[in-house]
Amino acid sequence: MPRLPLLVVQYDISPGLLNHEHWGLVVYYAEGNGKGRVFEMSGTLGDFHFNTKDVNLFSSRQFCGGCKVGAIEENKMNDLETWLRAVPNQCRVNPAWNCQTWVVDAIRELQMGNRGVIFSPFSERALRVELAADKERSETGYNTIIEGGRAFE
């Protein structure tokens, strides 16, 4: 069974401000069409909830790149949703907790569970560097991970 790329994607939710990107995890379905399934924490500080939906990354003006962190077999999509729903929502316990924190927690949870989804090694610092580089490519007219076809490499 083919493995589909698992990406961390980012959306620029406050253009012009630094570090105001919304992050989510996306299983990218097919090269070239921008379609995938997003798993994310939606809401505002102190009031986040788990959300999943089908998206077309090409149709979002706020999409500003991503980073491949793993791959999953298509027949494991329901398992992935179950695993991600179980990642604790810490927004009421930790006021600094947000969608980016949840993505990092989710990646670590998938990695520790030995589910064969996340590439190792995983580094939050390296993830942030790659996301910043892909955002720069987006802002300067170069292809992001989706447009450049790097998600399926």
pLDDT means over runs of 10, the chain (153 residues): 89 72 91 87 86 90 90 92 94 87 94 80 91 89 76 70
Dist CA 66 CA 72 (whole Å): 17
Q: Are 122 and 108 in contact (CB under 8 A)?
A: yes
Dist CA 153 CA 123 (whole Å): 20
Q: pTM of the full predicted structure?
A: 0.90
Dist CA 1 CA 72 (whole Å): 10
Domain that holds residue 126: 3-152
pLDDT of residue 39: 97
Q: Are 54 and 77 in contact (CB under 8 A)?
A: no
Number of domains in the chain: 1
pLDDT of residue 18: 57
